A = this chain, B = another copy of it.
Amino acid sequence: MKLSEAGLEITRLQNVDTVFPAQDILVQSGQLVQYGAGIYGYNSIPLKLRANIEKIIKEELEKIGCVEVQLPLLQPRSIWDESGRWNGYVEEGTLLTVKTEKSEFCLAPTAEEAIVEFSKRKLKSHKNLPTVYYQIGEKFRNEIRSRGFLLRGKSFLMMDAYSFNKDEKDLVKSYELLKIAYKNIFERLGLNVFPVAADNGAIGGKKSEEYMMISQIGEDTVLYDSKTGQGFNIEIKEKDNFIDYLKDYGIEDISSLKEEKTVELGHIFQLGTKYSETMNATYVDSNGEEKVFYMGCYGIGVSRTLATVYENNVVKDKNNNPCGFVLPYSLAPYKVQIIYKKEKENKALEIYELLNSNGVACILDDREDTTIGSSIKDVKILGTPYMIVLGDKTNDGELEIENVKTENKEIIKENIILEYFKNLSK
Protein backbone atom coordinates (compact mmCIF):
# COMPACT_ATOMS: atom_id res chain seq x y z
CA MET A 1 0.00 0.00 0.00
CA LYS A 2 1.21 3.43 -0.89
CA LEU A 3 0.52 5.72 2.02
CA SER A 4 -0.56 8.56 -0.30
CA GLU A 5 -3.39 6.33 -1.52
CA ALA A 6 -4.48 4.90 1.83
CA GLY A 7 -7.31 7.36 2.47
CA LEU A 8 -5.58 8.37 5.69
CA GLU A 9 -4.17 11.61 7.01
CA ILE A 10 -2.05 11.07 10.09
CA THR A 11 -1.89 14.06 12.38
CA ARG A 12 0.21 14.66 15.49
CA LEU A 13 -1.00 12.78 18.58
CA GLN A 14 -2.56 14.80 21.38
CA ASN A 15 -3.24 13.78 25.01
CA VAL A 16 -3.31 10.07 24.37
CA ASP A 17 -5.75 8.16 26.61
CA THR A 18 -3.84 6.49 29.44
CA VAL A 19 -6.04 3.39 29.84
CA PHE A 20 -6.67 2.60 26.16
CA PRO A 21 -3.74 4.32 24.41
CA ALA A 22 -3.66 2.11 21.30
CA GLN A 23 -7.32 2.58 20.44
CA ASP A 24 -7.15 6.30 21.12
CA ILE A 25 -4.23 6.47 18.67
CA LEU A 26 -6.32 4.49 16.13
CA VAL A 27 -9.08 7.09 16.46
CA GLN A 28 -6.73 10.09 16.35
CA SER A 29 -5.09 8.74 13.20
CA GLY A 30 -8.42 8.02 11.51
CA GLN A 31 -7.95 4.25 11.48
CA LEU A 32 -11.07 3.93 13.63
CA VAL A 33 -13.92 6.42 13.27
CA GLN A 34 -16.45 6.89 16.04
CA TYR A 35 -20.10 7.39 15.08
CA GLY A 36 -21.60 7.40 18.55
CA ALA A 37 -21.24 5.66 21.90
CA GLY A 38 -19.87 2.19 21.12
CA ILE A 39 -20.24 2.48 17.32
CA TYR A 40 -17.16 2.53 15.11
CA GLY A 41 -16.11 2.39 11.49
CA TYR A 42 -12.83 0.76 10.46
CA ASN A 43 -10.23 1.92 7.99
CA SER A 44 -8.20 -0.67 6.13
CA ILE A 45 -5.34 -1.59 8.48
CA PRO A 46 -7.40 -2.50 11.56
CA LEU A 47 -9.87 -4.21 9.23
CA LYS A 48 -7.09 -6.33 7.69
CA LEU A 49 -5.71 -7.12 11.14
CA ARG A 50 -9.18 -8.21 12.21
CA ALA A 51 -9.39 -10.40 9.09
CA ASN A 52 -6.08 -12.03 10.08
CA ILE A 53 -7.51 -12.75 13.54
CA GLU A 54 -10.67 -14.20 11.95
CA LYS A 55 -8.55 -16.39 9.69
CA ILE A 56 -6.75 -17.95 12.66
CA ILE A 57 -10.05 -18.56 14.46
CA LYS A 58 -11.53 -20.19 11.36
CA GLU A 59 -8.50 -22.38 10.70
CA GLU A 60 -8.42 -23.73 14.23
CA LEU A 61 -12.19 -24.35 14.32
CA GLU A 62 -12.19 -26.10 10.96
CA LYS A 63 -9.25 -28.22 12.07
CA ILE A 64 -11.55 -29.79 14.70
CA GLY A 65 -14.39 -30.19 12.20
CA CYS A 66 -16.57 -27.14 12.88
CA VAL A 67 -18.84 -26.09 9.99
CA GLU A 68 -19.12 -22.41 9.10
CA VAL A 69 -22.63 -21.01 8.69
CA GLN A 70 -24.20 -17.57 8.70
CA LEU A 71 -27.27 -16.80 10.75
CA PRO A 72 -29.49 -13.74 10.25
CA LEU A 73 -28.71 -10.44 11.96
CA LEU A 74 -32.45 -9.69 11.99
CA GLN A 75 -34.03 -12.41 14.13
CA PRO A 76 -37.82 -12.80 14.19
CA ARG A 77 -39.45 -12.37 17.61
CA SER A 78 -41.26 -15.69 17.14
CA ILE A 79 -38.15 -17.81 17.85
CA TRP A 80 -37.36 -15.73 20.93
CA ASP A 81 -40.89 -16.22 22.17
CA GLU A 82 -40.46 -19.93 21.60
CA SER A 83 -37.35 -20.07 23.78
CA GLY A 84 -39.05 -17.76 26.29
CA ARG A 85 -36.23 -15.21 26.28
CA TRP A 86 -37.87 -12.24 24.48
CA ASN A 87 -39.56 -10.65 27.48
CA GLY A 88 -36.61 -11.07 29.81
CA TYR A 89 -34.19 -9.50 27.35
CA VAL A 90 -36.58 -6.63 26.65
CA GLU A 91 -37.08 -5.95 30.37
CA GLU A 92 -33.34 -6.05 30.94
CA GLY A 93 -33.12 -3.38 28.24
CA THR A 94 -30.29 -5.02 26.32
CA LEU A 95 -32.23 -6.05 23.22
CA LEU A 96 -32.31 -3.73 20.21
CA THR A 97 -35.63 -4.28 18.46
CA VAL A 98 -37.08 -3.37 15.09
CA LYS A 99 -40.77 -3.21 14.25
CA THR A 100 -42.42 -3.36 10.86
CA GLU A 101 -46.13 -3.26 10.21
CA LYS A 102 -46.33 -7.03 10.17
CA SER A 103 -43.58 -8.30 12.41
CA GLU A 104 -41.10 -7.67 15.14
CA PHE A 105 -37.39 -8.51 15.12
CA CYS A 106 -34.38 -8.17 17.33
CA LEU A 107 -30.85 -7.48 16.23
CA ALA A 108 -28.90 -10.62 17.08
CA PRO A 109 -27.34 -10.28 20.55
CA THR A 110 -26.50 -14.00 20.42
CA ALA A 111 -27.85 -16.85 18.33
CA GLU A 112 -29.01 -19.85 20.39
CA GLU A 113 -32.57 -19.50 19.05
CA ALA A 114 -31.40 -18.98 15.49
CA ILE A 115 -29.08 -22.00 15.50
CA VAL A 116 -31.74 -24.25 17.01
CA GLU A 117 -34.14 -23.13 14.27
CA PHE A 118 -31.35 -23.82 11.74
CA SER A 119 -30.61 -27.31 13.04
CA LYS A 120 -34.14 -28.46 13.75
CA ARG A 121 -34.69 -28.91 10.07
CA LYS A 122 -31.26 -30.28 9.15
CA LEU A 123 -29.96 -32.65 11.77
CA LYS A 124 -32.75 -35.16 11.79
CA SER A 125 -30.73 -38.26 12.54
CA HIS A 126 -28.13 -39.34 15.08
CA LYS A 127 -25.92 -39.97 12.06
CA ASN A 128 -25.56 -36.20 11.68
CA LEU A 129 -24.25 -35.84 15.24
CA PRO A 130 -22.08 -34.43 16.60
CA THR A 131 -22.17 -31.24 14.54
CA VAL A 132 -20.54 -28.00 15.58
CA TYR A 133 -21.71 -24.97 13.60
CA TYR A 134 -19.94 -21.63 13.93
CA GLN A 135 -20.23 -18.18 12.47
CA ILE A 136 -18.33 -14.93 12.68
CA GLY A 137 -20.91 -12.19 12.67
CA GLU A 138 -21.93 -8.83 14.06
CA LYS A 139 -23.78 -8.81 17.36
CA PHE A 140 -25.79 -6.00 18.91
CA ARG A 141 -26.48 -4.96 22.46
CA ASN A 142 -28.15 -1.86 23.84
CA GLU A 143 -25.07 -1.16 25.89
CA ILE A 144 -25.80 1.73 28.23
CA ARG A 145 -22.26 1.89 29.48
CA SER A 146 -20.08 1.72 26.36
CA ARG A 147 -16.48 1.41 27.43
CA GLY A 148 -12.95 1.20 26.07
CA PHE A 149 -13.64 1.91 22.39
CA LEU A 150 -14.08 -1.55 20.80
CA LEU A 151 -14.07 -3.35 24.16
CA ARG A 152 -17.73 -2.89 24.93
CA GLY A 153 -19.95 -1.38 22.27
CA LYS A 154 -23.46 -1.40 20.82
CA SER A 155 -22.27 -3.38 17.83
CA PHE A 156 -19.36 -5.80 17.82
CA LEU A 157 -18.00 -8.80 15.95
CA MET A 158 -18.22 -12.20 17.60
CA MET A 159 -17.42 -15.79 16.76
CA ASP A 160 -20.19 -17.94 18.12
CA ALA A 161 -20.17 -21.72 17.83
CA TYR A 162 -22.85 -24.21 18.82
CA SER A 163 -22.45 -27.95 19.27
CA PHE A 164 -25.26 -30.44 18.78
CA ASN A 165 -24.69 -33.68 20.63
CA LYS A 166 -26.68 -36.79 21.26
CA ASP A 167 -26.04 -36.96 25.01
CA GLU A 168 -24.15 -35.36 27.84
CA LYS A 169 -21.05 -37.49 27.33
CA ASP A 170 -20.77 -36.38 23.72
CA LEU A 171 -21.39 -32.79 24.73
CA VAL A 172 -18.39 -32.97 27.07
CA LYS A 173 -16.34 -34.37 24.17
CA SER A 174 -17.27 -31.42 21.92
CA TYR A 175 -16.61 -29.01 24.79
CA GLU A 176 -13.14 -30.44 25.32
CA LEU A 177 -12.39 -30.25 21.57
CA LEU A 178 -13.38 -26.59 21.54
CA LYS A 179 -11.08 -26.00 24.51
CA ILE A 180 -8.18 -27.34 22.46
CA ALA A 181 -9.12 -25.02 19.58
CA TYR A 182 -9.36 -22.05 21.95
CA LYS A 183 -5.91 -22.80 23.34
CA ASN A 184 -4.44 -22.90 19.82
CA ILE A 185 -6.27 -19.75 18.72
CA PHE A 186 -5.06 -17.58 21.59
CA GLU A 187 -1.54 -18.97 21.34
CA ARG A 188 -1.38 -18.05 17.65
CA LEU A 189 -2.72 -14.59 18.52
CA GLY A 190 0.17 -14.14 20.94
CA LEU A 191 -2.22 -13.58 23.84
CA ASN A 192 -1.68 -15.30 27.18
CA VAL A 193 -5.29 -16.29 27.71
CA PHE A 194 -6.36 -18.87 30.31
CA PRO A 195 -9.64 -20.53 31.28
CA VAL A 196 -11.40 -19.31 34.39
CA ALA A 197 -13.67 -21.84 36.03
CA ALA A 198 -17.09 -20.53 36.83
CA ASP A 199 -18.42 -21.45 40.22
CA ASN A 200 -20.65 -24.41 39.40
CA GLY A 201 -19.34 -26.64 42.14
CA ALA A 202 -16.33 -28.90 41.75
CA ILE A 203 -18.16 -32.08 40.96
CA GLY A 204 -20.72 -32.58 38.22
CA GLY A 205 -18.77 -31.03 35.37
CA LYS A 206 -17.48 -27.57 34.75
CA LYS A 207 -20.47 -26.18 32.90
CA SER A 208 -19.00 -22.88 31.89
CA GLU A 209 -15.57 -21.28 31.60
CA GLU A 210 -14.47 -17.79 30.67
CA TYR A 211 -11.27 -17.14 28.72
CA MET A 212 -9.39 -14.28 30.31
CA MET A 213 -6.12 -12.41 29.90
CA ILE A 214 -4.34 -10.43 32.59
CA SER A 215 -4.54 -6.80 31.50
CA GLN A 216 -5.10 -3.34 32.86
CA ILE A 217 -7.74 -2.73 30.16
CA GLY A 218 -10.02 -5.35 31.68
CA GLU A 219 -12.86 -4.89 34.12
CA ASP A 220 -12.83 -8.27 35.82
CA THR A 221 -10.82 -9.54 38.74
CA VAL A 222 -9.98 -13.23 39.00
CA LEU A 223 -7.79 -15.50 41.05
CA TYR A 224 -4.99 -16.78 38.85
CA ASP A 225 -2.69 -19.67 39.57
CA SER A 226 0.48 -19.09 37.58
CA LYS A 227 1.72 -22.65 38.13
CA THR A 228 -1.24 -24.43 36.56
CA GLY A 229 -2.38 -21.54 34.31
CA GLN A 230 -5.86 -21.90 35.75
CA GLY A 231 -8.06 -19.01 36.80
CA PHE A 232 -10.98 -18.89 39.22
CA ASN A 233 -13.94 -16.68 39.86
CA ILE A 234 -13.02 -14.43 42.78
CA GLU A 235 -16.07 -15.63 44.68
CA ILE A 236 -14.64 -19.09 45.25
CA LYS A 237 -12.75 -17.61 48.21
CA GLU A 238 -15.99 -17.61 50.13
CA LYS A 239 -16.59 -21.31 49.58
CA ASP A 240 -16.48 -23.56 52.63
CA ASN A 241 -14.61 -26.26 50.76
CA PHE A 242 -12.24 -23.73 49.09
CA ILE A 243 -9.09 -25.81 49.64
CA ASP A 244 -10.66 -29.06 48.42
CA TYR A 245 -12.07 -27.29 45.41
CA LEU A 246 -8.61 -26.10 44.42
CA LYS A 247 -7.16 -29.59 44.85
CA ASP A 248 -9.46 -30.77 42.09
CA TYR A 249 -7.48 -28.44 39.81
CA GLY A 250 -4.14 -29.76 41.06
CA ILE A 251 -3.46 -26.74 43.27
CA GLU A 252 -1.92 -27.73 46.60
CA ASP A 253 -0.18 -24.50 47.50
CA ILE A 254 -2.61 -21.63 47.82
CA SER A 255 0.19 -19.04 47.93
CA SER A 256 0.60 -19.23 44.15
CA LEU A 257 -2.91 -17.77 43.68
CA LYS A 258 -3.03 -14.06 42.94
CA GLU A 259 -5.78 -11.58 42.30
CA GLU A 260 -5.39 -10.18 38.80
CA LYS A 261 -7.25 -7.64 36.69
CA THR A 262 -8.35 -9.37 33.49
CA VAL A 263 -10.15 -8.84 30.21
CA GLU A 264 -12.60 -11.50 29.05
CA LEU A 265 -12.09 -12.66 25.45
CA GLY A 266 -14.16 -15.82 25.29
CA HIS A 267 -16.74 -17.85 27.07
CA ILE A 268 -17.82 -21.49 26.69
CA PHE A 269 -20.94 -23.16 28.07
CA GLN A 270 -22.47 -26.58 28.34
CA LEU A 271 -26.08 -25.65 27.73
CA GLY A 272 -27.47 -29.15 27.93
CA THR A 273 -31.08 -29.43 26.82
CA LYS A 274 -32.22 -25.93 27.81
CA TYR A 275 -32.95 -24.65 24.30
CA SER A 276 -33.71 -27.94 22.60
CA GLU A 277 -36.43 -28.67 25.17
CA THR A 278 -38.18 -25.31 25.06
CA MET A 279 -37.87 -25.13 21.28
CA ASN A 280 -38.63 -28.81 20.76
CA ALA A 281 -35.50 -29.58 18.78
CA THR A 282 -35.07 -33.29 18.36
CA TYR A 283 -33.26 -35.96 16.38
CA VAL A 284 -33.97 -39.63 15.88
CA ASP A 285 -31.56 -41.93 17.71
CA SER A 286 -30.27 -45.34 16.60
CA ASN A 287 -33.34 -47.04 18.11
CA GLY A 288 -35.69 -44.84 16.12
CA GLU A 289 -36.64 -42.82 19.18
CA GLU A 290 -37.00 -39.06 19.20
CA LYS A 291 -34.55 -37.33 21.56
CA VAL A 292 -33.69 -33.71 22.34
CA PHE A 293 -30.23 -32.42 21.48
CA TYR A 294 -27.56 -31.74 24.09
CA MET A 295 -26.04 -28.42 23.18
CA GLY A 296 -22.95 -26.38 23.95
CA CYS A 297 -22.18 -22.80 22.97
CA TYR A 298 -18.82 -21.16 22.55
CA GLY A 299 -17.98 -17.50 21.96
CA ILE A 300 -14.94 -15.34 21.19
CA GLY A 301 -15.23 -11.56 21.09
CA VAL A 302 -13.49 -10.74 17.82
CA SER A 303 -13.54 -6.92 17.98
CA ARG A 304 -12.57 -7.19 21.63
CA THR A 305 -9.68 -9.48 20.72
CA LEU A 306 -8.62 -6.96 18.07
CA ALA A 307 -8.66 -4.20 20.69
CA THR A 308 -6.65 -6.40 23.05
CA VAL A 309 -4.02 -7.20 20.41
CA TYR A 310 -3.54 -3.47 19.84
CA GLU A 311 -3.48 -2.53 23.53
CA ASN A 312 -1.17 -5.45 24.31
CA ASN A 313 1.45 -4.10 21.93
CA VAL A 314 1.68 -0.43 22.91
CA VAL A 315 5.12 1.17 22.81
CA LYS A 316 6.22 4.27 24.70
CA ASP A 317 8.51 7.17 23.95
CA LYS A 318 11.50 8.37 26.01
CA ASN A 319 9.19 10.22 28.37
CA ASN A 320 7.28 6.99 28.96
CA ASN A 321 4.21 8.26 27.06
CA PRO A 322 2.41 5.90 24.67
CA CYS A 323 3.44 6.82 21.12
CA GLY A 324 2.03 3.89 19.13
CA PHE A 325 2.05 0.12 18.91
CA VAL A 326 4.02 -2.58 17.14
CA LEU A 327 1.96 -5.52 15.90
CA PRO A 328 3.30 -9.08 16.14
CA TYR A 329 4.94 -10.01 12.83
CA SER A 330 2.67 -13.01 12.23
CA LEU A 331 -0.51 -10.93 12.62
CA ALA A 332 0.51 -7.61 11.06
CA PRO A 333 -1.28 -6.88 7.77
CA TYR A 334 1.85 -5.11 6.54
CA LYS A 335 5.21 -6.49 7.59
CA VAL A 336 7.48 -3.61 6.68
CA GLN A 337 7.27 0.13 6.01
CA ILE A 338 9.68 1.81 3.59
CA ILE A 339 10.82 5.34 4.32
CA TYR A 340 13.14 7.17 1.96
CA LYS A 341 14.63 10.49 1.15
CA LYS A 342 13.48 11.98 -2.13
CA GLU A 343 16.68 11.09 -4.07
CA LYS A 344 16.21 7.41 -3.27
CA GLU A 345 12.63 7.22 -4.53
CA ASN A 346 13.39 4.83 -7.40
CA LYS A 347 15.23 2.42 -5.15
CA ALA A 348 12.38 2.63 -2.60
CA LEU A 349 9.83 1.79 -5.29
CA GLU A 350 11.96 -1.09 -6.52
CA ILE A 351 12.21 -2.64 -3.04
CA TYR A 352 8.49 -2.04 -2.52
CA GLU A 353 7.56 -3.89 -5.70
CA LEU A 354 10.01 -6.69 -4.99
CA LEU A 355 8.67 -7.32 -1.48
CA ASN A 356 4.99 -7.03 -2.41
CA SER A 357 5.28 -9.32 -5.40
CA ASN A 358 6.98 -11.91 -3.20
CA GLY A 359 4.33 -12.02 -0.55
CA VAL A 360 5.88 -9.58 1.93
CA ALA A 361 3.06 -7.02 2.32
CA CYS A 362 4.66 -3.65 2.46
CA ILE A 363 3.77 0.03 3.03
CA LEU A 364 5.56 2.70 1.00
CA ASP A 365 5.55 6.08 2.68
CA ASP A 366 5.32 8.14 -0.51
CA ARG A 367 3.58 11.12 1.05
CA GLU A 368 4.88 14.41 -0.32
CA ASP A 369 4.85 16.57 2.73
CA THR A 370 6.58 14.49 5.39
CA THR A 371 10.10 14.50 6.74
CA ILE A 372 12.03 11.28 7.37
CA GLY A 373 11.67 12.00 11.09
CA SER A 374 7.88 12.20 11.07
CA SER A 375 7.62 9.23 8.71
CA ILE A 376 9.57 7.14 11.21
CA LYS A 377 7.18 8.20 13.99
CA ASP A 378 4.20 7.16 11.89
CA VAL A 379 5.43 3.55 11.58
CA LYS A 380 4.29 3.04 15.18
CA ILE A 381 0.96 4.71 14.44
CA LEU A 382 0.23 2.01 11.85
CA GLY A 383 1.79 -0.79 13.88
CA THR A 384 4.22 -2.03 11.22
CA PRO A 385 6.80 -4.37 12.82
CA TYR A 386 9.76 -3.58 10.53
CA MET A 387 10.99 -0.53 8.69
CA ILE A 388 13.52 0.04 5.97
CA VAL A 389 15.05 3.52 5.91
CA LEU A 390 16.69 4.68 2.70
CA GLY A 391 18.53 7.68 4.04
CA ASP A 392 22.19 8.72 4.20
CA LYS A 393 23.51 5.91 6.36
CA THR A 394 23.81 3.15 3.78
CA ASN A 395 25.96 2.62 0.72
CA ASP A 396 24.67 1.42 -2.63
CA GLY A 397 23.56 -2.20 -2.43
CA GLU A 398 22.89 -1.95 1.29
CA LEU A 399 19.69 -1.52 3.26
CA GLU A 400 19.04 -0.49 6.84
CA ILE A 401 16.33 -2.61 8.46
CA GLU A 402 14.96 -1.84 11.89
CA ASN A 403 12.95 -4.09 14.16
CA VAL A 404 10.56 -1.41 15.38
CA LYS A 405 9.83 -3.02 18.74
CA THR A 406 13.38 -3.80 19.81
CA GLU A 407 14.82 -0.82 17.90
CA ASN A 408 17.52 -3.20 16.74
CA LYS A 409 19.00 -1.95 13.45
CA GLU A 410 20.88 -4.00 10.93
CA ILE A 411 22.58 -3.10 7.68
CA ILE A 412 22.14 -5.92 5.21
CA LYS A 413 23.04 -6.54 1.57
CA GLU A 414 20.12 -5.54 -0.61
CA ASN A 415 20.19 -8.86 -2.46
CA ILE A 416 19.34 -10.88 0.64
CA ILE A 417 16.22 -8.84 1.49
CA LEU A 418 13.73 -11.53 0.43
CA GLU A 419 15.62 -14.17 2.38
CA TYR A 420 15.65 -11.87 5.40
CA PHE A 421 11.85 -11.70 5.48
CA LYS A 422 11.46 -15.35 4.58
CA ASN A 423 13.37 -16.20 7.74
CA LEU A 424 11.12 -13.95 9.81
CA SER A 425 7.97 -15.76 8.66
CA LYS A 426 9.24 -19.10 9.89
Contact = CB atoms under 8 A, between A and B. Distances in A.
Given A42-B69, A67-B6, A70-B42, A127 B97 contact: no
Contacts of A84: none
A39 interface: yes
B67 A5 contact: yes
Copies of this chain: 2
Interface stretch (A118-126, A178-186, A371-379): A118-126
Contacts of A128: 4, 7-9
A133 B7 contact: yes
B97 A70 contact: no
Interface string A66-101: 011111111110110000000000000000111010
A395 interface: no
A394 interface: no
A47 B70 contact: yes
A47 B76 contact: no
A99 to B, nearest CB: 9
Contact of A368 (B127, B131, B367): B127
A33 interface: yes
Interface centre among A97, A107, A367 (most CB of B within 10 A): A107
A31 B362 CA distance: 39
A4 B127 contact: yes
B155 A125 contact: no
A329 interface: no
Contact of A72 (B65, B122, B155): B155
Contacts of A122: 7-9, 30, 33, 43
A355 interface: no
A103 interface: yes
